[in-house]
Structure 1
């Protein structure tokens, strides 16, 4: 008898707490999103049907599923933040969020998550917002399959596409970001993954890391940004299978590494960048099986870098393979393929019998006097480079690959 009463009581409690679905739209009794959110309880689903909703700042402060059907438009009318998430375990899916306000002090966004956990933002389209999606002090949040478009012209007049601050255990997956200051921005973010995103035509960086340790970014495309990626003041970062392409400009890099340590850069492609990789204050980084193709400079390694290892990479058609601003070399280069190598392989083991010096005399001269680029491809410079390879006098003797490969690696 007690068991039966217990079951009846449990069923009664469940029925009282059962989740409900609240539809919103012109054809339903509830026509305003804010009215539906006021009615909703934790675990409910608010379904917003197609239409244009101009309700100012919409705040989700309950653990609900917030779902758009037939592409409803949340229009901020350039007055403020469009959607604010202030509850844990919220799902935001299927909306078009447009025209947030523009301000330098309060950073209005298309979607902003305030100090919450397990929030999912997926399959949304955001356009003409100051910041796109902003995670503030969040954890275990997922940003997936969103398209985030802006039309910024100057970096001080536009925010970032995906901006994450003081957060942990984030997944940023399969988003397309265009036209913002930085496509993706991490500051004080740990143990997070950036995977399969496309970040293009952003004013400053496709991806910007600051003080963010133990993260990974994998299989992303960073193309035609002011600069590709900047990783600064960071340690223990894994960078795998990314493409850095056509990031051109006086100060443009495919990948900028500044004050970074204990990281692994594996199987990336650097194609047609002004400088593919620029290292300053970088230490204990392993670069393996990357392709450097048709860049101005494949790598600029400043004298402040040490204990970095460059192994099994392909250097193809770069104007300069390596450049540096000092004479002390504390990094190692082993078993790379250099298309400028002119050595021989008498024992046919696939490794050149003569070591290769990837740092050319002209690269040293250009680093010290950029205006000397006017002499590029001149007969005099070609003659000087050939002489330097025979009798090195200016380039550091230990800037050397002792086992250069005779054939490029099939990467």
Structure 2
């Protein structure tokens, strides 16, 4: 570090003499960014709200009425539909295949009302489905037991081909637990845990345990530990889900060949945590204001051969944090207003980082290294709002390189008190020297073909509409 700091001091003096005028005259590429991302939230309902039915529950099967869901289910045969209305207080096990449990007037009900509520009374799992091809539609599940080790869940699924549609699960330890079942669908569900329970004692919203081929669509999850948790689960597609006030919005562990698209994670510790997995496809997701103790928009830890494309990573402590990851493609992402745009560490290698838009980050990139590394070997690099591109041939790429993580950034990272000099003429001059003179090989990241315009053309929406 002493050698790097010495280079910085000497370089600043030398370059200031030769380039002082150029520094003063150069345009500030980020000068039109004069706002901060505050209070951004998508349009979501609070799943904890809603009026519970007060009348005693009635379960109807073939025009026969039962006062207990379990009695109706035990009387049903494959292909039957049990219609539920009112409030039930019981735990239920479904062992009949091809059965439908449906709340009354599901098609006409609003999400803040309920045709049927099953209250577990704070004991165990409320609804356990062990049979195949069961459908649960429009039912409100409430008050599971508190025991994480017993896997107390609103709905526990151990049957393949099960569909959970428009269910609401509240005051639950785990929302939905899917164990060793294939091709399960969870769609349009709202899931909330218990605010009074500490985060470390909560379960997950949707917990996948060796649950291959699941489809998770348009669910809203809050006040649990992790929104969607993957363990040894493959071939799962998760689209359109919204997760907030959690530890991790989505958490992959030992789960390969999965697809995550169009999801939103905001106001969590970490938006999307990708760990110890490979061949994931992470596209068109949004991670905003994830600024807890870890504070990452997208965490990529021990992950290989994964595509992370066209995501918006906005106002997190670290936009992308890449740790011991190899052979991944990070392309077309918007990385906006984070404390650190992207951080690579712990031997990450062979990463392709191109066509990304780095805008308004306090520090665009950080990569602790004693060498100079390039993330892209393509004809086009990334857009950096702090760069000063020179495009003499008008091909959209700069004729001068840009070093987003060089000597200045290393000093500021290791000595935060130096941040007050980040925009000083001396530091600016060092950055210009690193970009302009290939003979100056300071350690850090270099982009040989920075872009003159950001590929992400919708980045201003995050300033203009704080309530989305």
Measured against the shorter chain, the TM-score band is 0.7 to 0.9
Where 2:148 maps in the other structure, the secondary structure is coil
Per-residue deviation at 1:353?
1.1
In structure 2, the partner of 1:404 is 450
Tell me the alpha carbon deviations over residues 375-400 of structure 1, each in whole angstroms, 9 at most, x when there is no partner.
32337865235225415878426x21
Equivalent pair of 1:52/1:73 in contact (CA under 8 Å): yes
Alignment of 1:143-182 (within 5 A): 143-152=186-195, 153-182=197-226
Equivalent pair of 1:306/1:330 in contact (CA under 8 Å): no
Equivalent pair of 1:253/1:273 in contact (CA under 8 Å): yes
| Aligned counterparts of 2:344 and 2:372: Cα–Cα separation in 1 | 9
| Aligned counterparts of 2:456 and 2:276: Cα–Cα separation in 1 | 33
Per-residue deviation at 1:350?
1.9
In structure 2, the partner of 1:377 is 420
Alignment of 1:10-409 (within 5 A): 23-24=59-60, 29-49=65-85, 51-55=86-90, 57-63=91-97, 64-70=99-105, 71-114=115-158, 116-152=159-195, 153-202=197-246, 204-328=247-371, 332-333=375-376, 334-367=380-413, 369=414, 372-378=415-421, 383-390=426-433, 395-396=442-443, 399-409=445-455
| Aligned counterparts of 2:121 and 2:397: Cα–Cα separation in 1 | 64
Once structures 1 and 2 are overlaid, which stretch shifts more, 160-169 or 377-386? 377-386
| Aligned counterparts of 2:372 and 2:237: Cα–Cα separation in 1 | 33
Where 2:349 maps in the other structure, the secondary structure is coil
Alignment gaps of 5+ in structure 1:
1-21
Root-mean-square deviation over aligned CA pairs: 2.1
Query: More strand by proportion, 1 or 2?
Result: 1
The alpha-carbon distance between structure 1 residues 395 and 110, as it changes in their structure 2 partners (threshold 3 A), is farther
| Aligned counterparts of 2:346 and 2:397: Cα–Cα separation in 1 | 28
- Looking at both structures, which has the greater relative contact order when contacts are Cα pairs under 8 Å and sequence separation is at least 6? 2
The alpha-carbon distance between structure 1 residues 290 and 379, as it changes in their structure 2 partners (threshold 3 A), is closer
Equivalent pair of 2:135/2:162 in contact (CA under 8 Å): yes
Where 2:175 maps in the other structure, the secondary structure is strand
The alpha-carbon distance between structure 1 residues 29 and 352, as it changes in their structure 2 partners (threshold 3 A), is closer
Equivalent pair of 1:364/1:395 in contact (CA under 8 Å): no
Equivalent pair of 1:361/1:385 in contact (CA under 8 Å): no
Per-residue deviation at 1:128?
0.7
Per-residue deviation at 1:31?
1.7
The alpha-carbon distance between structure 1 residues 119 and 378, as it changes in their structure 2 partners (threshold 3 A), is same
In structure 2, the partner of 1:13 is none
Alignment gaps of 5+ in structure 2:
1-57, 106-114, 458-468
When the two structures are superposed, what TM-score results if normalisation uses the length of structure 1? 0.88
